[in-house]
Structure 1
Amino acid sequence: MISIAVCDDNEITAQEISEKVKQCCPIEAEVSVFYHIKDILFSIHNENKLFDIIFMDIEFDVSSGIEASKQINAWHPDCQIIYITNYTNYFTSVYETSHIYYILKKDIDTYLSTALKKAIQQIAKINQYYLIIQSKQQHIRIAQSKILYLERIMRTTNIHTTDTIYQTPEKMDSLLERLCPWFCPSHRSYIVNGRHIVNLDRHHAILSNDTSVPVSRTCYESLKKTFARCIWADGMYFTNEEAKGEL
């Protein structure tokens, strides 16, 4: 599920856009509506609400959607902003911000689907390299390159990174589906980042911070292949063929 916000000071228009988004969105989405810029900024900054896509009007009575988007860019640079306005004279000004699309309200039925698909495709690209989890009613974005391993204890998954430990109630299978191909189970209770393995035998994987993670007999062969395929140079990733184990 993705999280979408609509911000427009005309309540009727905001609700209409919200309904169109719900009908048009190709994947499951939670849609929130805001009528004032201060409210959406408060939700993002003070309540740590992470929206994947924001439909932002430009002209408000006492503020500017462009200025608000600059602030949102700073807080959450991966948020996909779609401007939706009655006016054409902002085509240049919006390029002061990072945004994915610009729609005139009169053309919403023509371009809404295209804008949503483009934003969702960009989110998918970004999410390849980040793991977004829910923890204590907050959404946390973790750089996958910093994750050492995940460990399931009772009903909690501990995500060990180079900096800290995050906790989430999400199950390992669900998390593994959103992780890059260099992550592999080493044990029924562990998922290891192959890029951080420095030594591997049939019983243990030694990671870059000297942590020893258990390796089970059933996981050893697949973990060994993942370890062998890992490309250690910064900025390098698996090819599609490598991810499928075809090389």
Structure 2
Amino acid sequence: MDELKIVIADDDELSRRIVRRFLETIPNTTLVGEVTNGEELMEQVLVEEPNLVLLDITMPKLSGLDAIRECLKVLPQLKMIFITGHDQYAAEAFNLSAVDYVVKPVERQRLFVAIEKARQLIKAQQEDRWKEFYNRNDIIKKLIIRSERSIYFVPMKEVLFIEKIGRKSWIHTHLRMYESNETLGTLFKRLDSTFFQSHRSFLINLEHIHSIKPSGETYMVHFQDYEKPAFISKSKMNLMLEFIEQHAQLPRED
């Protein structure tokens, strides 16, 4: 997927305007939001699920560094480019796996190079998951689920989907539901590549999908012999279909 969904986070209106105008000249980029502080950034990431955030570090309410740490808990694959007037935070930014660190004033070519680097990283990340999907072995992989009183070891192939409700994550299988205090982002890091984050509140097992039907602004995912559905956000539908299609095109080893 070459189209980038981008959010700008900067409390300086002039800086946002400059970056916005630069983005208008860069192909295959879509600006999905602008925010002026760290708390707004967290909300925007939850709503828009962008690929990339262009953010300042010193912002009201919550700094860019603290805000991006929280965003990564929800959207661990999120990429970021820091655009700031301060160079002393570079080491801390790269510790968060920042794609780049651009010091103001911003030059168009410098920003273009940083964004293209992010695009290639995102593309490579998706391709790696596709390859892993078809190269996985037959060893039974288990998801460790930590609840308040017990630890469960559930084969990943039995998990239909994982749902976020409030501050809890609920793991759905045909036999029962498991409650966990861990975030979706934490659980997603331990899952294999048969799982896809279809919505900010759902991780679904692609191998168990029976049908998909539109439901207002989202899509409902139904599973064989299981009454409760999961959901796919409108913005993730094409990506998920592309993900599955790429799997089908990869050669299998005999």
- TM bracket (short chain): 0.5 to 0.7
Structure showing greater radius of gyration is: 1
Shift of 1:178: 3.0
- Mapped pair 1:179 → 2:250: no
Structure 2 residue aligned with 1:16, among 5, 14, 18? 18
Q: Which amino acid aligns with 1:166?
A: A
- Mapped pair 1:148 → 2:213: no
Contact 2:5-2:31 within 8 A present in 1 as well: yes
Equivalent residues in 2 for 1:19-34, closer than 5 Å: 19-24=21-26, 26-34=27-35
Shift of 1:124: 2.2
% identical aligned pairs: 16
Give 3-state SS (helix, strand or coil) of 2:124's partner: helix
For normalisation by structure 2, the TM-score amounts to: 0.57
Shift of 1:106: 2.3
Unaligned runs of 5+ in 1: 184-225, 227-237
Partner of 1:120: 119
Q: Which has the higher contact order (CA 8 A, sep 6+)?
A: 2
Q: Which amino acid aligns with 1:88?
A: D
Shift of 1:98: 2.6
Q: Which amino acid aligns with 2:230?
A: Y
Shift of 1:43: 3.0
Give 3-state SS (helix, strand or coil) of 1:106's partner: coil
Length, aligned pairs only: 180
Shift of 1:173: 8.4
- Mapped pair 1:166 → 2:230: yes
Q: Which amino acid aligns with 2:92?
A: S
- Mapped pair 1:3 → 2:5: yes
Shift of 1:12: 1.6
Contact 1:7-1:33 within 8 A present in 2 as well: yes
Shift of 1:149: 3.4
Equivalent residues in 2 for 1:96-111, closer than 5 Å: 96-111=95-110
CA distance in 2, matches of 1:94, 1:28: 23
CA distance in 2, matches of 1:27, 1:35: 24
For residues 101-127 of structure 1, give each alpha carbon's deviation from its aligned partner in whole angstroms, at most 9, with x where no partner exists.
111122432321111112122222333
Q: Which amino acid aligns with 2:35?
A: F
Give 3-state SS (helix, strand or coil) of 2:125's partner: helix
Partner of 1:44: 45
Contact 2:23-2:29 within 8 A present in 1 as well: no
For residues 70-126 of structure 1, give each alpha carbon's deviation from its aligned partner in whole angstroms, at most 9, with x where no partner exists.
111222111111000112222222133231111112243232111111212222233
Give the direction of change, closer, same or farther, for the CA distance of 1:104–1:167 in structure 2 (3 Å limit): same
Give 3-state SS (helix, strand or coil) of 1:121's partner: helix
CA distance in 2, matches of 1:84, 1:15: 13
For residues 111-151 of structure 1, give each alpha carbon's deviation from its aligned partner in whole angstroms, at most 9, with x where no partner exists.
21111112122222333436454xxxx656646x6532342
Shift of 1:159: 5.3
For normalisation by structure 1, the TM-score amounts to: 0.58
CA distance in 2, matches of 1:39, 1:173: 27
Unaligned runs of 5+ in 2: 130-194
